[in-house]
């Protein structure tokens, strides 16, 4: 007499694996699993499985079905966030203090940038003086060199 077949299934979250076998150990062997996943509750006997007909038609062969995952439904957990009634005095004080610090920082930066621009203007004037002195000296030396070469 042929052994009575039972339907077993387990899921990895993305696929459902169904097999028709005579016992739990034979179902585990068909899935290629050594650990007893029936004891942990991952696998179960499922006489009303979706793939029952296909599994019964091919005993010992694993029937795999892809599962769809709806991210929209899985994303929200717990109670919705509470509506805010308004800022606390501590929050208002902190916001005011930070606004004052920001204003002071902006003013300090503006003062520093003005000082740097003034310094750059002074350096540009000094560079122009140096360039004029260099040009004057170089022109004199080029003229003297030309005269010296004429006498050679």
The pLDDT tens digits of the residues spanning 19-74 come to 999 999 999 999 999 999 999 888 999 888 888 888 888 888 998 888 766 565 55
51: DSSP letter: T
For residue 152, the model assigns a pLDDT of: 83
For residue 133, the model assigns a pLDDT of: 97
In 46-91, the DSSP E strands lie at: 63-66
Domain boundaries, given as residue ranges, for the chain: 6-68, 91-152
Please state the pTM of the whole predicted model.
Answer: 0.45
CA gap 134, 141 in Å, rounded:
10
For residue 21, the model assigns a pLDDT of: 92
In percent, the amount of the chain with pLDDT more than 70 equals: 88
Q: Assign 38 to helix, strand or coil.
A: coil
């Amino acid at each position: 007499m042929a052994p009575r077949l039972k339907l077993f299934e387990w899921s990895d979250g993305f696929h459902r694996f169904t097999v028709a076998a005579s016992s739990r150990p034979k179902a585990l062997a068909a899935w290629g699993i050594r650990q007893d996943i029936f004891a942990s509750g991952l696998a179960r006997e499922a006489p009303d499985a979706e793939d029952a007909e296909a599994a019964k038609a091919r005993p010992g062969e694993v029937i795999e079905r892809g599962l769809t995952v709806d991210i929209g439904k899985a994303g929200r957990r717990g109670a919705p966030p509470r509506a805010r009634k308004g800022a606390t005095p501590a929050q208002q004080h902190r916001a005011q203090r930070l606004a004052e610090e920001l204003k002071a920082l902006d003013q300090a930066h503006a003062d520093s940038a003005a000082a740097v621009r003034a310094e750059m203007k002074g350096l540009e004037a000094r560079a122009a003086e140096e360039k004029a002195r260099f040009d004057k000296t170089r022109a004199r030396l080029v003229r003297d060199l030309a005269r010296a070469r004429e006498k050679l």
